Amino acid sequence: MRYELYYWPGIQGRGEFVRLALEAGGADYVDVARTSGGERKLMQALGDERQQHPPFAPPFLKAGRVVIAQSANILLYLGPRLGLAPRDEAGRLWCHQLQLTVADIVKEAHDVHHPVGAGLYYEEQKREAKRYAKEFTAERIPKYLGYFERVLERNARGAGHAVGRKLSYVDLSLFQVMAGLRYAFPKTMHAQEHNYPKLSALHDHVTGLPRIAAYLKSKRRQAFNTSGIFRHYPELDRPTTGAKRRAS
Amino acid sequence: MRYELYYWPGIQGRGEFVRLALEAGGADYVDVARTSGGERKLMQALGDERQQHPPFAPPFLKAGRVVIAQSANILLYLGPRLGLAPRDEAGRLWCHQLQLTVADIVKEAHDVHHPVGAGLYYEEQKREAKRYAKEFTAERIPKYLGYFERVLERNARGAGHAVGRKLSYVDLSLFQVMAGLRYAFPKTMHAQEHNYPKLSALHDHVTGLPRIAAYLKSKRRQAFNTSGIFRHYPELDRPTTGAKRRAS
């Protein structure tokens, strides 16, 4: 089976969580929009009125006649097929639950630079972005990464893996979250990262996996940039000592 | 099996998507935090350090020894058990994909009144909320509801259902989205709703299902309010003719 991944070219974005699984699983796949004429194919697929199961947005994966969208859903499908998820139902649900929490922090990492709306440029919402960034760096990063650190701690038999004893797509996604946060918020992460030793070790472990190491060196891995989800704007990376948490 | 639902008392919130499925499926369940002493049980469960699979946040469901969090994930688990999802893999994935897109609009509906951060009160971010609301009502509601309307149109054999020929948890969730948006943004919905005839019909169909009708009349259904996800603040409900869409 040759998988076809459809995602916006030029950024890692949400497609990267799927790419990492395809790469680590040694899958045969094509990153359609990055091939010659591929961007047109992406737009055609998005506008296809005969598609019974239309995606709301990229990424989506074509696997034979099946079309699957929503990155966590794609990983739910790919996980068992690529040996990157447990086979039993409870294990698969736990894996997916963690992935949905990854999706939540990814959405918030996006909203740091787009707090008011995706239809406006960052430059039009810089004031709001600064307020969002203050809470994101002081409260949300510690809340999410502290949670994932606990998950790693409690998986005592897992030897550094998030789920069970083996590599899963959640490990790959946590690598990407750490890499993305380090790129976007280097000062914040420098100030906080000692609190997340198991996440840091997991990041390093994934970096060293032979297939991932080869991928990261290849042209298939695009660099982080300020068009993607994780964006480095120095004015949004000002580590603070945490403000007090309040009910909303 | 008696299911235990754990969610914040006093609001419909994300727990409501699970409640609707439990009610429509005729499940035996207890809404733990709304029982006597239940809020304490919720906090204990959230803080339980022996929990191998800790939830990041409510809602979560206890089903025997399994604990499942993330509302879409809970529905993925409950769907086939309550006869509210297709049994085949492709159908289940499609159902779940739609549910994840529901989760996306629900998150945005929340962010209308909390654009800068969940740790601040609405009153501290009213200026930003107005900008967010403008884009949400003019661009995002049409984008999401237009999408779900197309999904209903393309399911030609479905007689008004989102997935296949039978009621699914996605139908119940779309009912809740319509009800929530009508409560929070009555003027906007009044101005737009003629564009979504199939969604309106689905809302009415779900309202009339005997188990749902009984639920909506019962005390188990809490009213919408300005502590929940869908909140009615008149200043955020100003229908506009859509601004131009731009890249971000």
Query: Are the beta carbons of B116 and A97 separated by less than 8 Å?
Result: no
Contact between A129 and A113 (Cβ < 8 Å)? yes
Domain boundaries, chain A: 3-81, 89-236
C-alpha B96/C-alpha B184 separation (Å) is 25
Mean pLDDT of B133-138: 96
Q: Measured between CB atoms, does A165 come within 8 Å of chain B?
A: no
- Output the CA torsion B113→A146→A75→B154 (10° steps): -10
C-alpha B39/C-alpha B31 separation (Å) is 10
| pLDDT higher than threshold 70 for residue B39 | yes
Q: Measured between CB atoms, does B120 come within 8 Å of chain A?
A: yes
Q: What length is written for chain B?
A: 248
C-alpha A174/C-alpha A99 separation (Å) is 9
Local confidence band at B159 (pLDDT 50, 70, 90 cut-offs): confident
Averaged pLDDT, groups of 10, chain A, 248 residues long: 96 98 98 97 95 96 96 98 96 98 98 93 95 96 98 90 96 98 98 97 98 98 97 92 49
C-alpha A157/C-alpha A163 separation (Å) is 9
* Set of chain B residues whose Cβ sits within 8 Å of the Cβ of A11: none
Instruction: Give the per-residue pLDDT at B157.
Output: 81
In the CATH hierarchy, which fold is given to the domain comprising B3-81? Answer: Glutaredoxin (3.40.30)
Query: Are the beta carbons of A56 and B147 separated by less than 8 Å?
Result: yes
* Set of chain B residues whose Cβ sits within 8 Å of the Cβ of A89: 77
CA distances from A47 to A10, A55, A174, A242, B152 (A): 20, 10, 32, 45, 16
Cα angle B220, B102, A31 (rounded to 5 degrees) comes to 155
Contact between A169 and A75 (Cβ < 8 Å)? yes
* Set of chain B residues whose Cβ sits within 8 Å of the Cβ of A119: 135, 139, 243, 245-246, 248
Distance linking the first and last C-alpha atoms of chain A = 48
Burial of B232 (0-12, 13-18, 19+ CB in 10 A): middle
Paired residues of B169 in beta bridges = none
Paired residues of A67 in beta bridges = A62
| pLDDT higher than threshold 60 for residue B164 | yes
In the CATH hierarchy, which fold is given to the domain comprising B89-236? Answer: Glutathione S-transferase Yfyf (Class Pi); Chain A, domain 2 (1.20.1050)
Q: What length is written for chain A?
A: 248
Query: Are the beta carbons of B150 and A73 separated by less than 8 Å?
Result: no
| Tokens at A23, concatenated | 């790469």
Query: pLDDT averaged over chain B?
Result: 95
pLDDT tens-digit profile of B51-108? 999 999 999 999 999 999 999 999 999 999 999 999 999 999 999 999 999 999 999 9
Contact between B178 and B200 (Cβ < 8 Å)? yes
C-alpha B168/C-alpha B160 separation (Å) is 11
- Strand ranges for chain A from DSSP E: 3-6, 29-31, 60-63, 66-69
pLDDT tens-digit profile of B187-244? 999 999 999 999 999 999 999 999 999 999 999 999 999 999 999 999 999 887 544 4
Give the minimum alpha-carbon distance from A120 to chain B in angstroms, rounded to a whole number: 6
Query: Are the beta carbons of B94 and A147 separated by less than 8 Å?
Result: no
Paired residues of A31 in beta bridges = A5
Strand ranges across the sheet with A60-63: A29-31, A3-6, A60-63, A66-69
pLDDT tens-digit profile of B108-122? 999 999 999 888 999
| Tokens at A156, concatenated | 């005592």
Contact between A29 and A3 (Cβ < 8 Å)? yes
Q: Measured between CB atoms, does B106 come within 8 Å of chain A?
A: no
Instruction: Give the per-residue pLDDT at A159.
Output: 83
Q: Tell me what ipTM this predicted complex has.
A: 0.96
Instruction: Give the per-residue pLDDT at A241.
Output: 56
* Set of chain B residues whose Cβ sits within 8 Å of the Cβ of A147: 54, 56
Instruction: Give the per-residue pLDDT at B243.
Output: 46
